[in-house]
């Protein structure tokens, strides 16, 4: 078995949960926050058979799209002083960060 850990934007989390559940994947959702933009994220824990990993990854990829957003400079790490008066900066947000781990033992108690 494999454990898929997917960190996704809060914007995509409800749709991703629906899409994964519709295809028979059980999920556990954890609230998390990003370090760079300090924005809300959701971390999904998905335990699945090894032969279904690619299907789960495909659902995550199709659901969690990267997009461009304008961010105020004061929201960026290391910004201070006169730089705060600068114009908003366009950054990529969304998408997913995915980790896949081997599961030694899986129990539902």
Query: DSSP for 50-103?
Result: GGGHHHHHHHHHHHS-EEEEEE-GGGSTT--GGGGGSPPEEEEEE-EEEEEEE-
- The whole-chain average pLDDT of the chain stands at 84
pTM reported for the whole predicted model: 0.77
- Cα–Cα distance between 72 and 85 in angstroms, integer? 9
pLDDT band at 86 (very low <50, low <70, confident <90, very high): low
Span 23-40, pLDDT tens digits: 999 999 998 876 655 667
Residue the block writes with tokens 């914007």: 11
Span 87-103, pLDDT tens digits: 777 666 678 999 999 99
Q: Which of 104, 107, 99, 2 shows the shortest CA–CA distance to 60?
A: 99
């Amino acid at each position: 078995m494999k454990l898929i850990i997917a960190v996704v934007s809060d914007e995509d989390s409800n749709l991703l949960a629906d899409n994964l559940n519709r295809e028979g994947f059980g999920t556990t959702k954890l609230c998390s926050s990003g370090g760079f933009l300090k924005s809300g994220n959701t971390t999904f824990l998905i335990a699945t058979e090894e032969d279904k990993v690619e299907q789960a990854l495909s659902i995550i990829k199709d659901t969690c799209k990267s997009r461009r957003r304008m961010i105020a400079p004061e929201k960026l790490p290391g910004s201070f002083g006169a730089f705060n008066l600068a114009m908003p900066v366009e950054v990529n947000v969304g998408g997913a960060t995915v980790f896949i781990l081997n599961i030694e033992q899986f129990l539902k108690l």
